[in-house]
Amino acid sequence: MAKVVLGSVLLLLLYATVSQCGREHVTGGALELELGDGEQIFQADGGSIRFWRETERALQNANVALEEIILEENALTIPKYKDAGSVCYVLEGKGVVGISHPLQGEFRGRQRVGRVEKGDVFAVPRGVVVWLYNEGKERHRVFCALETKDELQAGQQKVFHLAGTGGRFGGILHGFSRNVLAKAWNVDEGTVGKLLDAQKETCIVKPREHIRFPQPNGEETDMINRYSEDIQEIAAQGRFVHNSESEFPDLFVRNAGWIRVINRHKLPILRGLQMSALRGNLKNEALCAPYWVLNAYQIIRVTKGRGRIQVADENGKQVLDTEAKEGSVYVIPQFYPVLKTDAGGGFEWVSFLTSDRPIPSFLAGDNSVYRGIPEEVMAAAQAVDVETIRRVSDARVGDEVILRPGEGKPRKEAAAAAAHSTA
């Protein structure tokens, strides 16, 4: 039988105290859970940006938008801030990410700079300046979920660039008079003109020379109580990147798969964003026990291999049954039960959840909600005898979350094995 390693840790991470619920319910009409390829909203020599708008039916109830940023070698996103916080996952390559926020005091030498690579997760609160740079020789791809419920204008994400030419995605400095900027910076207007006119590109640029960065100093900054909680989290923790590849999985089942959870306990900045992430891996046709999440929508991006995803609605109707391939994106509404299984050859995904402490309820395994209901009640509910209920319940004793086909043991056999192992 598969052995679950650090299962209790997963439970502590996933089953934390319930956070705020009350997300919008799914509105009427046919559900659209599988997203298309998104809209390419920007492309240049340095890279491109693909966007899934929160106005898409599958996303609008989740208050989430999605974007994928692709940076070619030596490409830089112009420093910017948004009216939406984001949680990002590195799909490919290596790069440098930096943030600059209002609590750094003396900014020189106090920037937050971190190196990221495939498998890393980083988070940026709304209104905080961020930039990305591809210092490697291969393409750098980042996939982000943006929490949009507090956008300035619903359905219209606003991005403010600190530099760049005018026009669409233009730099905000072009909105000020040059003589006023000269006074603000205490320089001549010629210098201001050079700063505003030299850059002919916007959004993503390729510097003339490769940028060299010092190692991050990791020094914490002072907190100022008048600022919002999410900004205080950055100042207090001084960390916005989590390397999930370097840690042992929160849940590991031999020859079946693993799960890595990135929540507020591992990356406290997520508390202010009210979001979290999860990475999953299945192999040898293993499956995740079907479950629903009490307090969050899920955005699932397939990162490797092939799998199968099924989703049911409140009427027992199968609203999704699909072969999930690398690059596919799905939205699973809050409360809707979902099942994921490996289709052979391995299956990996990353999920973004709209809560910093999501709470799942399972329909199979040791954590199944059925095990919390008296057998007589379930027998009456399903019009079968108690022995049938017991047989189904016993079939997965000792297994939880990640299930190997046919690997559960009856309760008596599992108890005997446990007694033998402690003898």
* pLDDT at res. 301: 97
| Tokens at 326, concatenated | 């690398």
- Distance from the first to the final alpha carbon of the chain: 19
Is residue 254 within 8 A of residue 321, CB to CB? The reply is no
Q: Is 119 left (phi over 0), alpha (psi -120 to 50) or beta?
A: left
* pLDDT at res. 109: 40
Is residue 354 within 8 A of residue 276, CB to CB? The reply is no
Q: Please, what's the b/e burial string for 53-87 (b: 16 or more CB within 10 A of its CB; e: otherwise)?
A: bbebebbbbbbbbbbbbbbbbbbbbbbbbbbbbbb
| Tokens at 150, concatenated | 């507090």
Count CA atoms closer than 13 A to 383's CA, side-chain side. Answer: 0
| Residue 249 to residue 7: CA distance in whole angstroms | 10
Full-model pTM: 0.81
Per-residue pLDDT of the chain (423 residues; tens, 9 = 90+): 444 334 443 443 343 333 333 333 444 456 789 988 899 999 999 999 999 987 677 787 888 999 999 999 999 999 999 999 999 999 999 999 988 866 654 444 446 788 899 999 999 988 889 999 999 899 999 999 998 887 766 667 789 999 998 888 889 999 999 999 999 999 999 999 999 999 999 999 999 999 987 654 443 333 223 234 444 444 444 578 898 888 899 999 999 999 999 999 899 889 888 999 999 999 999 999 999 999 999 999 999 999 999 999 998 999 999 999 999 999 999 999 999 999 999 999 999 999 999 999 999 999 899 999 989 999 999 999 999 999 998 888 889 899 998 755 544 444 444 444 434
Bridge partners (DSSP) of residue 403 are 287
* pLDDT at res. 118: 94
| Residue 31 to residue 194: CA distance in whole angstroms | 52
| Residue 265 to residue 13: CA distance in whole angstroms | 7
